[in-house]
Amino acid sequence: MVKRIAVTRPEERSKAAKEFIENYGGEAVIVPTLELKLENTDSLKELIGRFGELDWLIFTSVSSIDSIFKFYPNFVESLNSDCKIATIGTKTAEVAMNKGLHIDIIPKDYTAEGLIEEFKRIDLNNKIVGVPRTFSARTILPEELKNMGAEVILAESYKSVIPENKTDIENLIQEIIEEKIDGITFTSPLTVVNLFKTAKDNQKDELVEKLSSSTLTVAIGPITGKILDEYNVKHIYPERYTVKDMIDLMFKELNNQN
91 to 37, 110, 194: CA distances (angstroms): 19, 10, 24
Does residue 27 have a pLDDT over 80?
yes
The per-residue pLDDT of the chain, averaged, comes to: 94
Q: Please enumerate in sequence order all residues whose Cβ is within 8 A of that of 147, keeping only pairs 6 or more positions apart, or say none.
A: none
Helix (H, G, I), strand (E, B) or coil at 223: helix
What is the predicted pLDDT for the residue at 190?
A: 93
What is the predicted pLDDT for the residue at 1?
A: 87
Does residue 258 have a pLDDT over 70?
no
Does residue 221 have a pLDDT over 90?
yes
Across residues 81-95, what is the average pLDDT? 92
Q: Quick one: which H or E segment has residue 57?
A: strand 56-59
Residue type, 115: L
Residue type, 213: S
Q: Quick one: which H or E segment has residue 41?
A: none
Strand arrangement, sheet containing 27-30: 27-30, 4-7, 183-186, 216-219
pTM: 0.82
> Per mean pLDDT, which range of 60-64, 143-147, 175-179 is the poorest?
60-64
Does residue 188 have a pLDDT over 80?
yes
The band of 245, judged by pLDDT with boundaries at 50, 70 and 90, is: very high
Longest dimension (CA), the chain: 59
Domains and CATH numbers, the chain: 4-34+162-257 (3.40.50.10090), 37-160 (3.40.50.10090)
